Structure 1
């Protein structure tokens, strides 16, 4: 039996090679590694799409930030390469190392790539990759919230976002709401929508009514709306006799813990840390309601995963979440209104027939979010972009 090539062998084989006939070679600037503890939904999407592209014969290399324990590897046919300085022990060093190394690492590998794909990432969305990759480049937009970060850090990050978006001529948005925002920033760009998907096993199992109210996501107090959720919970909890389970890690964990203490809800809130895979699915299935109180979302993967598990969802009525929680699958609340959110939780929590009906309808709706279909659509966009480039 022959020994499969190592990641280093793959790099040496493609370094300096001219574009050639054969499998489409994709260099994906993916930012976050799906194996990194606390990794967000963007890295899940990147891997789920790329593993299917690799199975279809494409050659995919993903450059990510480094972190303690990160290793270059082949995973499900996808070549992962962590880049940065040192071990990337915290969020800032990971970000700065990635930004500093990415152009150099991309140029080193571009002769072994037919197409470059840039994932947008916090805090300024895009590094304007088409200006320096030397290859046809597509932006995949799973994050577009630089204005919010600009307010948080008091830096003009939204100007960098605007400049970067205008550097792209072709973009893939994960929702129509995100696509509309991209068009407003760059009317000349071709913007296509390819949503996220779910694991098919999430649709299995009986529908049950759990006891807890659940939040799953990165612990970012303002962006994810945890400040509003906890304020609402302080009002609702005495009437529900239930627990709010918060699953996730993130930069604001200490602030979240302090807010829980200051609101006097420590006895009814449980922080369970980062969850993924089967543990995440089990947690959603055992919940009574999942709350997605985000101020901004580009898609709302947690909401779709909850619907697939048969658990109804309560959201703020914002564009991208509105797309993935239609009527009958959950309930919408006036954006960022803690009193309205508390009232909705109190009203819906005891209504068992409504919860079961919403769970059944939500699972039916979630069936349309299929990773195989989304990967096929994304591959078609890649090939179309290369055809247009070749004809110029």
Structure 2
């Protein structure tokens, strides 16, 4: 979503943008909103693993084939190892966009040194765009010589069209995953809190731990107070957010926390753990931060804020804060970062060329 929302605005500003993507079932090369999309790989892209492997194998070749027409290559970091060290093989000025930096977690999951690849790749970049200050700090710890521009994600403009309602239910929205999204922590906190609040816990999303979550709900004895509603997007997702009394985001780690920002934009107060990246987008007075991973504190906060008398004022402050995250302003910032990257990186390349000539 971020890639398309930024790039379609850059196209309006006169940028010519080609996006190389993985293949997917029914894939086709297309131009959408002025952005040229080219799925690369082998076959139909029906298998997730072969889709990734084929993309990684063909990407350097496909970039080299097009580099004569490109002034800048943008490497958008992706799972499971974040970066392929693109500056080493593009042959053009290259900048990275970091929306994803979780290779350490994937390394634990798959028992592979994916985090080594991530660190190696980051150390070969000179300029990166991070979606949050927290990610920017992590990147500069890996590579102190980096120049990092922080440019956040934007909110779906339709979020402001939703009419905030002081609903009854508490909402979790996201991938059903225990480790990253902290769903296990939320269920335990809800088991402590639900007898003291009127509404139910609505869980919107799908993911690898759905059956595990269902089992935990039964084990905790809260099946009558939890509703799993499946995946939602677009207007249905925004309706669920705007009709909730509170949104709880119990993530153990995030690179940005778009769900929290969307909730603020729609006028729904947010409760989250006080972790890097998230604390940037849950400001005081528009939401509440809880000591990281403290289940008892999370349950108490849900009860306290559910009963708070001035939630309408809290919602209004959240909406005012979220208005800074609009795609037009963010696209302007990204355009400036790209222009600066071309100027600096082309200048550095010219200096190296002149130094080589002098040595000859």
Confirm or deny a common fold (TM above 0.5). yes
Aligned to 2:337: 381
Match in the other structure for 2:310? 354
Q: Match of 2:138?
A: 181
1:151 and 2:108 are equivalent in the alignment: yes
1:267-298 C-alpha deviation (Å, 9 max, x unpaired): 32222222222222111111111111111111
Partner of 2:319: 363
> Residue 258 in 1 paired to residue 195 in 2?
no
Q: Could you tell me how far apart the structure 2 residues matched to 1:383 and 1:220 are?
A: 38
SS in 1 for 2:245: strand
- Counterpart of 1:313 (choices 255, 264, 270) is 270
Equivalences, count: 348
Secondary structure of the 1:242 match is: coil
The SS at the match of 1:223 is helix
* 2-structure distance, mates of 1:192, 1:366: 20
Q: Which residue number in structure 2 is paired with residue 98 of structure 1?
A: 55
Structure 2 residue 19 is the aligned partner of structure 1 residue 62: yes
2:53, 2:223 → 1: CA distance? 36
Q: How many angstroms does 1:390 deviate by?
A: 2.6
**Equivalent residue of 1:179, what SS?**
helix
Distance across 2 between alignment mates of 1:301 and 1:160: 26
Contact 1:297–1:321 (Cα < 8 Å) also in 2: yes
- Find the counterpart in structure 1 of residue 259 from structure 2: 302
Q: Provide TM-score, normalisation by structure 1.
A: 0.84
Name whichever structure is richer in helix by fraction. Answer: 2
Structure 2 stretches of 5 or more lacking a match?
A: 349-360
Given that 1:207 and 1:360 are in contact with CA atoms closer than 8 Å, whether structure 2 keeps it comes out as no
* Aligned with 2:69 (options 112, 120, 129): 112
TM-score relative to the length of structure 2: 0.91
Root-mean-square deviation (CA, aligned residues, Å) is: 1.7
The 8 Å contact of residues 163 and 242 in structure 2, kept in 1 or not, is answered as no
Structure 1 unpaired stretches of 5+: 1-43
Residue 273 of structure 1 corresponds to 230
Say which SS state the counterpart of residue 278 (structure 2) adopts.
helix
Partner in structure 1 of residue 249 of structure 2: 292
Residue 223, structure 1, aligned to residue 180, structure 2: yes
1:229 Cα deviation from its structure 2 partner:
1.2
Task: Name 2:119's counterpart in structure 1.
Answer: 162
